[in-house]
Amino acid sequence: MEMKNLLLAMAIVAWWSFMGVPFEAQAVEEGYYDAFISVNDNVDLTQLRNAGLKITARYDGIITAEVPNNYMPSDLRNFSGILSASRSIPILTYSDSARYLSHADAVHLGERLDMPYDGSGIIVGVIDCGFDFNHVNFWDENGNTRVKAVYLPFNNTGRTIMVNRIVLPGTCFETPERILALTTDDPATTHGTQTAGIAAGSYRDNGWYGIAPGADIVACGMPEGELNDVKLAHCISYIDDYAKRMGKPYVVNISMGCNVGAHDGTSYLSTVIKQFSGPGRVFVVSAGNDGDEPVCIHESLKTKTDTVTALLNGYAKTGGRTRSGCVNAWSKGATPFNSKLIVVDTRTRKIVYQSRSLGTTTTGVTEHFDTETDAQLAEFYTGTMDFSGTIEEGGHGSSLITLNMTAKESYYIIGVQYYSPLATDLSIWTSQYAYFNTYGINWVSSGTSVGSINELATSDSVISVGSYNSKQYVPLRDGSLYFRPDSEPLQMSYYSSYGPDENGVSRPDVCAPGSVVISSANRYDTHPHNLQYWQPSAFVNGVEYPFCPDLGTSMSAPVVTGAIALWLQANPNLSAANVRNVLKHSSYKDSYVTRGNPERWGSGKLDIEAGMRYVLHIEDKNGDVNGDGEVNLSDINVVIDIILGGSYADDVMRRADVNSDGEIGVSDINMIIDIILS
């Protein structure tokens, strides 16, 4: 006990000495540094200028300045009117904010590891749309393409490919010459070029490179309007076949999904993925972007007179009158139920149209609605709707409605009413411009974002990824700012979807930076909306290669994909279960995570360096805050410095939270003392 008191006294002395004079180790070179300074109305700018500060800008409650190196930020609080000050933090307008926050750079450099890792020898498969197959971000240092193979399900100009003695639709390109002749799979989007760049981009001159810059890239691209689960399965087959022929492990990024399906890992595509998933074969899926939308309804039908009524919100760009997309209902167990298409007049709150009952049977029921042939429905809407109902092979009753309908008046609201002769629980999802809305009617079911997780992400055979914010704005090449409201850095992204799934399993598995991330863009993209967000381009050999910002779990998923490529380089036999275990033992839980909804955060924030150390069985000593391999008074001093406002690298900040409660405080100092005494 006396030794503990002595150490605590030494810590207190160190604390107070730090408040009086800076440590010598914090000395800086001669000159100036940039700083943000928080001020009140009493600040005397003349006094600051006379002290040698160069005021560079003023905002409400903040000034910026070039501060002489002989002033520490804490010293500035001695001036009248200054509340606090902070050295500038490098703002890098590219995906290295994702690399930085996820600690990828340390892995690239091999810091505290046995060697540097860049994903060499690993295949990163990307299934997407809008690829620029020959973007400079996919070249190696010698100017050779790192895109080793391309599969295009809707192209017949390449080589046909046979998998399991069956010819896959489309063709493939597997030589540098054939790949060099390609342009893009979709000139109306840039999505695939972005996701591939985040996962495995390698162009370093502007810093906009990815997580696994040494990995081989296999791109599977198709027009956005042609994406479906079958084509995704074909792409997975191709990637697996190519990887087997090359004898290499692979990780596949799928930054897409839907809300159609049982959300329990039993869908067709989930089943396909399960068959391919295994050691050295890992699949990563984005969690979805409906985390702030009422896309789910979870209700019970207890008696045969009960009904569940779901009304659809209108698409804003059409004045709220158009409803398009899908409404998919599932019962618990093999319980059949009935559905009716309805139209409600919100002025009277009464049903003004209802179709005949449509059931779910083992043989299946299908029905087509068209306002050109249904005169009663045509009084309120124009468009078409298709219904299918069946008892699925997995045992669930399922009702799927696909619609594209436009109301003749804004107060006519289309929806679906469900009822059953048997008691059952219903889960209902909607997608694509057709969110649920009660319109203030008490007999209409309320939608929720709970359970909004992407259907493809509800299988244990995939790693599901949510998004948190890495930055809120970036400058564009025209001098304007790309700014995202409600996207404060380090917080959960408002749109990030989450579970639980229908098995009661929390999803996603982990969160990574997804807003705002800058990556390579498709130079063949002609969509005006996309072009306005381009960054300053890279010019190589007279060719312009664009980059652009974006946000979504589509952007966070490839961060994890790249991380897994690095880990596979260290251990080529990692499976999805192994990766999930790595994430559970290495993800970072800061105060945003510990105070947030655990259903949304999963294991926490991706930490690629800590994950690599776990894969390599390199253990950090608990309490070794400064990373020198020892636990002693110097670690206490670092924690004290952090408490007083000192700035350190993220890995130091992570280790300073010794008791893993999401806060850095006196309790961490006490725990270090206990470790020393033990």
Concatenating the DSSP letter of every residue in 625-644 gives: TTSSS--SHHHHHHHHHHHT
Question: Which of 129-138, 350-359, 394-403 has the highest average model confidence (pLDDT)?
Answer: 129-138
Q: What is the pLDDT of residues 454-491, one digit of tens each?
A: 999 999 999 999 999 998 888 887 778 888 888 899 99
| 85 DSSP β-pair partners | 37
Angle between helix 553-570 and helix 191-200 axes, rounded to 10 deg: 30
Across 148-152, 164-168, 551-555, least confident range? 164-168
Residues in the chain: 678
Return residue ranges of the chain for CATH 2.60.120.
296-448
Class of domain 296-448: mainly beta
Say yes or no to pLDDT of 91 above 70.
no
Q: CB within 8 A of 294, min separation 6: which ones?
A: 313, 435, 436, 437, 446, 447, 448, 449
Angle at 343 between CA 338 and CA 349, to 5 degrees: 110
Q: pLDDT confidence of 25, banded at 50, 70, 90?
A: very low
Q: Are 250 and 124 in contact (CB under 8 A)?
A: yes
* Average confidence score pLDDT of the chain: 87
386: enclosing H helix or E strand: strand 381-391
pLDDT (tens digit per residue) in 367-394: 889 999 999 999 999 999 989 888 876 6
On the question of pLDDT at 347 being above 90, the answer is yes
Share of the chain above pLDDT 70, in %: 91
Question: Following DSSP, what letter does each residue of 218-282 receive, concatenated?
Answer: EEEE--GGG--HHHHHHHHHHHHHHHHHHT--EEEEE----S-S-SSS-SHHHHHHHHH-BTTEE
- Per DSSP, the residues of 268-334 read HHHHHHHHH-BTTEEEEEE--S-TTS--EEEEEE-STT--EEEEBPPBGGGTT-EEEEEEEEEESTT
Q: Which stretch of 109-123, 162-176, 241-255, 478-492 has the lowest confidence by average pLDDT?
A: 478-492
Q: Token pair for residue 211?
A: 């997580």
331 close to 424: Cβ distance less than 8 angstroms: yes
Alpha-carbon span 256 to 286, nearest angstrom: 6
pLDDT score at 644: 86
Q: What is the pLDDT of residues 48-68, one digit of tens each?
A: 999 999 886 574 676 768 889
- CA 213 – CA 215 distance, rounded (Å): 6
Reading the block at residue 250, the tokens are: 């692979």
Average pLDDT over residues 93-102: 65
* pLDDT at res. 93: 22
Integer angstrom CA distances of residue 586 from 106, 470, 612: 15, 19, 9
Residue 424 CB: number of other CB atoms within 10 A?
22
Considering the chain, tell me which residue range(s) the CATH 3.40.50.200 domain(s) occupy: 96-250+280-290+456-611
> What are the residues facing 311 on neighbouring strands?
415
pLDDT of residue 220 exceeding 50, the answer is yes
Calculate what percentage of the chain has a pLDDT beyond 90. Answer: 58
The answer to whether the CB of 255 falls within 8 A of the CB of 454 is: no
**Domain 96-250+280-290+456-611 fold:** Rossmann fold (3.40.50)
